[in-house]
């Protein structure tokens, strides 16, 4: 249940989940877009994810220390300001056509997202009864895929379909690579502006939301004397909490798996002869599946303990990624789409389990769980490198690369099993 004074703030904060979902999933297809426009390897193009999710890792603890000293509202405003700045930096990045400039813009943008996630997740947990906290967070997280779907749609209709560098002849060969250097420069300028424009509009929208939050009087969560403790004592206490530590580890593996599945679904589909825009349609179907499953899970959590449901869903993801690895063609693509059904429960449930019973320590504890998003920075370049290396035996590089998400889901299944059975997790 929500506190009576928290209903409108709950709505305003829940909307933030959609806002960072939009940023996440308009950015995932940019790996494929930059690969084509700037003619680079899968590994180099996937540095987009290293910059994007690396920002979370860098800023999570500073964000947690900030909101611990000040307030949730101030943390949210800082987050929105950095979010807008990073998005608006796409203008000079496109003007100078520098990949590193785009990476810097994304890095700063996710400084803002780190503030928002570090703030919004524990804020939602604190807005009502602790017994319903995980269910409440799952509900708020249900708005994340709504933003993600919007981002995917914008990426498909207003970026991928408009990229001239992606045009092919009747035989499927790239027309862009056959152009003279001066002609390629014209196409590149056009396409980088196409990539730039949605981020500029996003930056303006985020600034408007900043004004709304600034003008509204948000409720304060009462602090306890424990909040006056030096941060090093809180972190020391958290590191001794095995449930928390393993929740952070599980979260890193989950985010890595999620970003790999949603980033390289385009490359997987392109190998089957689909265009980038058509491949993005399967990404959208995957997100619709994710959203549908999130709604189902929010209902099921009323009757089934979160750790039990997490174990069954992790096992389902292990089976579906096995299909992606060993079954070629469209069937393998269908298995990849189906994986999103099993992923929907994972982030908020691991988050809720990790912060359970932490009280005021949850403010700094949330930083570790947001830092775990670094899994989305480190693992996609590894998967890109596997794809660049080519196949293994009868498996294509794209198929074999999904052994990485497979391993991630095995780790999550182990984590859920140990939490559910109350067994002590050992290193």
> For the segment 128-151, what is each residue's pLDDT rounded down to a tens digit?
666 667 677 778 877 887 898 899
* Span 251-279, average pLDDT: 90
Question: Bridge-partner residues for 128, per DSSP?
Answer: 2
| pLDDT for 9 beyond 50 | yes
The pLDDT assigned to 129 comes to 67
| pLDDT for 253 beyond 90 | yes
Q: How many secondary structure helices (H) and strands (E) does the chain include?
A: 21, 0
The pLDDT assigned to 374 comes to 85
CA neighbor of 146 nearest in space, from 339, 298, 291: 291
In this predicted model, which residue has the larger pLDDT, 420 or 14?
A: 14
Instruction: Give 310-366 pLDDT, tens digit per residue.
Output: 999 999 999 999 999 999 899 999 999 999 999 998 988 998 888 887 877 777 787
Tell me the C-alpha distance between 189 and 352, whole Å: 45
Buried b (16+ CB within 10 A) or exposed e, 145-183: bbbbbbbbbbbbeebbebbbbbeeeeeeeeebeeeeeee
| pLDDT for 251 beyond 90 | yes
Both structure tokens of 75: 């943390």
Tell me the C-alpha distance between 79 and 5, whole Å: 23
Tell me the pLDDT band of 427, cut-offs 50, 70 and 90: very low
CA neighbor of 52 nearest in space, from 220, 262, 212: 262
The pLDDT assigned to 6 comes to 63
The pLDDT assigned to 148 comes to 85
**Is the pTM value of this prediction over 0.85?**
no
- Secondary structure (3-state) at 392: strand
Give percent of the chain above pLDDT 90. 44
In order of 5, 17, 203, the CA distances from 209 in angstroms are 21, 13, 10
Q: How many CB atoms lie within 10 A of CB 371?
A: 22
Highest mean pLDDT among 22-36, 280-294, 329-343: 329-343
Instruction: Give 394-413 pLDDT, tens digit per residue.
Output: 888 899 999 999 999 999 99
| pLDDT for 90 beyond 50 | yes
The pLDDT assigned to 206 comes to 96
Could you give the count of Cα atoms lying within 13 Å of 361 in the half-sphere of its Cβ?
A: 18
The pLDDT assigned to 184 comes to 92
| pLDDT for 15 beyond 70 | yes
Q: How many CB atoms lie within 10 A of CB 330?
A: 12
Instruction: Give 197-239 pLDDT, tens digit per residue.
Output: 999 999 999 999 999 988 887 767 655 444 556 777 787 888 8
Both structure tokens of 362: 């949850």
Highest mean pLDDT among 113-117, 216-220, 255-259, 420-424: 255-259
The pLDDT assigned to 3 comes to 54
């Amino acid at each position: 249940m929500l506190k009576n004074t928290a209903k409108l703030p709950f709505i305003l904060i829940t909307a933030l989940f959609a806002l960072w979902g939009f940023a996440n999933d308009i950015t995932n297809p940019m790996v494929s877009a930059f690969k084509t426009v700037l003619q680079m390897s899968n590994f180099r193009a996937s540095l987009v994810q290293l910059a994007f999710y690396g920002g979370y890792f860098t800023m999570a603890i500073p964000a947690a220390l900030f909101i611990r000293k000040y307030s949730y509202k101030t943390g949210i405003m800082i987050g929105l300001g950095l979010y807008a700045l990073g998005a608006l930096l796409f203008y000079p990045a496109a003007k100078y056509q520098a990949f590193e400039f785009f990476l810097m813009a994304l890095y700063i943008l996710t400084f803002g997202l780190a503030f928002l996630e570090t703030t919004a997740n524990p804020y939602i947990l604190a807005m009502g009864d602790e017994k319903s906290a995980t269910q409440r967070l799952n509900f708020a997280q249900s708005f994340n895929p709504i933003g993600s779907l919007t981002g995917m749609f914008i990426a498909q209709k207003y970026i991928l379909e408009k990229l001239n560098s992606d045009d092919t002849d009747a035989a499927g060969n790239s027309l862009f690579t056959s152009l003279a250097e001066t002609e390629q420069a014209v196409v590149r300028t056009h396409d980088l502006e196409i990539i730039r424009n949605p981020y500029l509009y996003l930056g303006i929208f985020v600034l408007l939301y900043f004004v709304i939050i600034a003008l509204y009087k948000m409720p304060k969560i009462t602090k306890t004397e424990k909040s006056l403790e030096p941060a090093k004592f809180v972190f020391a206490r958290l590191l001794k909490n095995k449930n928390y530590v393993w929740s952070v580890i599980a979260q890193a593996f989950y985010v890595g798996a999620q970003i790999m599945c949603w980033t390289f679904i385009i490359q997987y589909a392109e190998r089957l002869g689909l265009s980038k825009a058509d491949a993005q349609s399967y990404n959208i179907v995957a997100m619709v599946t994710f959203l549908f499953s999130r709604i189902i899970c929010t209902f099921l959590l009323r009757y089934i303990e979160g750790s039990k449901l997490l174990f069954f869903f992790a096992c389902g993801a292990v089976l579906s990624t096995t299909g992606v690895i060993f079954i070629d063609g469209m069937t393998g693509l269908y298995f990849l789409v189906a994986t999103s059904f099993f992923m929907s429960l994972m982030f908020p449930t691991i988050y809720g389990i990790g912060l359970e019973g932490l009280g005021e320590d949850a403010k700094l504890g949330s930083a570790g769980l947001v830092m775990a998003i670094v899994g989305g920075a480190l693992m996609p370049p590894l998967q890109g490198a596997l794809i660049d290396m080519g196949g293994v035996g009868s498996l294509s590089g794209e198929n074999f690369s999904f052994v990485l998400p497979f391993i991630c889901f095995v780790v999550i299944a182990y984590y859920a099993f140990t939490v559910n059975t109350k067994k002590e997790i050992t290193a």
